Homo-oligomer: A and B are copies of this chain.
Amino acid sequence: MAVDETVDGDALVQMFNAGLAHAVPAMYGLGVRLVEVASGRAVGTVPMDTNRNHFGGMYAGALFAVAEMLGGAVALASCDASRFYPTVKDMQINYRRPAMSDVRAIAELDEATIEAIVRQAEATGKAEFTLDAVLTDASGTTVATTHGTYQVRAR
């Protein structure tokens, strides 16, 4: 469902995470969680403890995972999830610094872009969009950035 007056952000976050456990258990198992979502904005987290690698930093794939998830969250918060589902077409991740703590990933789309995606999906059954995410450690330092291309498609 789209974000509207009937579902507040916290409820949507809880629904999304419950759905994640069921729908993408491998991602859920990495500890990736949505913590905030609204039309055009999603924030996720991934924990250090279970993703520590041999250098003491976080596993590169866990950083990928938390960023990649945001495209799905933005799509589900913006489009009618009973009629459309999100997929990822491609993604670029740039590792800036080792992540030594839990990591937050934030991605935003402006309202005009969201409206265009929804309009195109409604009209043609699918729409493509790009999403940039910034990943920061507990001190606010950027540890990675991503650029992804996603599609929403009619079920």
User: Which of these, B23, B26, B94, contacts A89 with CB under 8 Å?
Assistant: B94
Task: Tell whether, in the assembled complex, residue B95 and residue A88 are in contact, meaning their CB atoms are under 8 Å apart.
Answer: yes
Residues of B within 8 A of A53 (CB): 23-24, 26-27
Is A60 touching B54 in the complex (CB atoms < 8 A)? Answer: no
Q: Is the CB of A29 within 8 A of B27?
A: no
Return chain B residues, CB-CB under 8 Å to A51. 26
Instruction: Tell me the A88-110 residues at the B interface (CB within 8 Å).
Output: 88-95
Shortest C-beta distance, A94 to chain B (Å), equals 4
A26→B95 contact, CB < 8 A: no
On whether A92 and B92 interact (CB within 8 A), knowing A23-B54, A53-B24, A61-B65, the answer reads yes
Number of copies: 2
B85 touches A60 (CB 8 A): no
Give the shortest distance, in Å, between A57 (CB) and chain B (any CB).
9
Q: How far is the CA of A91 from the CA of B93 in the complex (A)?
A: 5
Instruction: Beyond A91-B92, A91-B93, list 16 extra A-B contacts (CB 8 Å).
Output: A22-B54, A25-B52, A26-B50, A26-B52, A27-B59, A27-B61, A29-B29, A55-B85, A60-B88, A60-B91, A61-B64, A61-B65, A61-B68, A64-B65, A87-B95, A89-B94
**13 A-B residue pairs with CB within 8 Å:** A24-B53, A24-B54, A26-B51, A26-B53, A26-B62, A29-B29, A54-B85, A60-B68, A61-B64, A64-B64, A64-B68, A90-B92, A92-B92
Q: Which 6 A-B pairs have the closest CB atoms?
A: A23-B54, A61-B65, A26-B59, A90-B94, A26-B51, A92-B92
